[in-house]
Amino acid sequence: MYNRVYGLMEPPATYSEREWILIGMAESCASRGYEASTVSDVCTLAGVSEASFEALFSGKEDCLVAALRSVLEEGYRRIADIHSPQRPWAAVVRDGARVLLDLLAERPAFARLVLLEVPAAGGPASAQYAAAKAALLSYVERGRESAIEADIPASAGRAALAGAEALVVGKILAGGKLLAELAAEVVYLLTVPYLGQEEALRQAVDRSSPRSALRAVA
């Protein structure tokens, strides 16, 4: 998704006014921050009238929640495409991290909205973000079933997910556009508490993720 105001691509004819408004919200948050953004800002970027906005959303907060939900739903869809009860936990974590980072890389304004603006906004958007993180944590902690050590701290999964989140947020704050390049480090962080360093490195490294990409964490 790209905003037509920015001229990055021809607007697809299939985009609805609602979708353009969500794009406008993401772009406004990326440039001004959520608190400073107004409905007027969002509508200008979306190329729609405020009357159209008011017909679809009860206010700025409602639009923020909808923008977040649009990203989460796409993320869930992509993860569902790679998840299977028959697949090993580490393989799903590895591929899941990569598809989610690909999604954020495709939509940089939405990445900022989800990881920077929503947590600071409070209210229903922050609650929904916390619920999504809890679902991810629940799956990460399934690594205990594959763990090579029996005595793993209860906080291991939470710490691993927090580290991965901090890594991605740092990339966004630094203006990084190639979030997918972080895949090897994220996979390593999420799997090393359960699989140990050698196997976590094996899961993280493939032809597109050279071992040198892991120097910061390995």
Same domain, 90 and 44: no
**Six-digit token string for 113:** 């909205």
| Contacting residues for 44 by C-beta, under 8 A, at least 6 apart | 5, 24
In this prediction, residue 150 carries a pLDDT of 77
**pTM for this prediction:** 0.85
The residue segments making up the domain with residue 117 are: 67-214
Same domain, 90 and 179: yes
In this prediction, residue 6 carries a pLDDT of 40
The residue written with tokens 């994220």 in the block is 186
Same domain, 146 and 73: yes
Residue 143 has pLDDT above 70, yes or no: yes
Confidence grade of residue 216 (pLDDT, cut at 50, 70, 90):
very low
Distances (CA, A) of 17 to 23, 100, 187: 10, 26, 37
In this prediction, residue 63 carries a pLDDT of 98
Whether 28 and 44 have beta carbons less than 8 Å apart is answered as no
Same domain, 155 and 204: yes
Domain count for the chain: 2
Same domain, 90 and 184: yes
Mean pLDDT confidence for 103-130:
94
Same domain, 110 and 177: yes
